[in-house]
Amino acid sequence: MPAENEWEALLRVADELSRELGYVEGEDIPGERSPLEAAHGMMGILNPEDELLAAGMRRSLAKVVAALDGDGSAGTAVRAALDAAEMVVRGELLQGNAARLPALLPSVVFLVALPTVGQDRALEISKRCTRLLESGLGK
């Protein structure tokens, strides 16, 4: 598990990205809730701090998607991308590789943006995520 300030920094980067893309705090966040909460398939495997990080990352990534998919037209594809992103985060945490999450965040952002905005724009957003991480916001 990264130190608390490190995972808070990851969430700050994703939240800043969502704001830059037009997400307004307080709006509905489609896809925020994990299907794992209902199914309990993986819930409880991670320690409580890692569970908070995984849930926080999903929420932050869902805000990025909400900013990009205002009308919710991408639906199933977006939820599948959010599920996949959550599984990547959970997998890294489960393997004890939390230190890899900052390096993976731009790729995960690309993954969740792709169904909504296409490859070129998703790559542009991913690169912006990298710049935010490098700017010190992620520290």
pLDDT by residue (tens digit) across 125-139?
999 999 999 986 545
Q: Which residues contact 95 (CB under 8 A, 6 or more apart)?
A: none
pTM, two decimal places = 0.84
Domain ranges across the chain: 4-21+48-134
What's the pLDDT at 42?
A: 53
The whole-angstrom separation of Cα 19 and Cα 32 is 16
Per-residue exposure over 3-28, b if at least 16 CB sit within 10 Å of its own CB, e if not: eeebbebbbbbbbbbbeebebeeeee
Q: Tokens representing 130?
A: 């990298």
* H helical segments located in the chain: 4-20, 35-39, 48-68, 75-94, 101-134
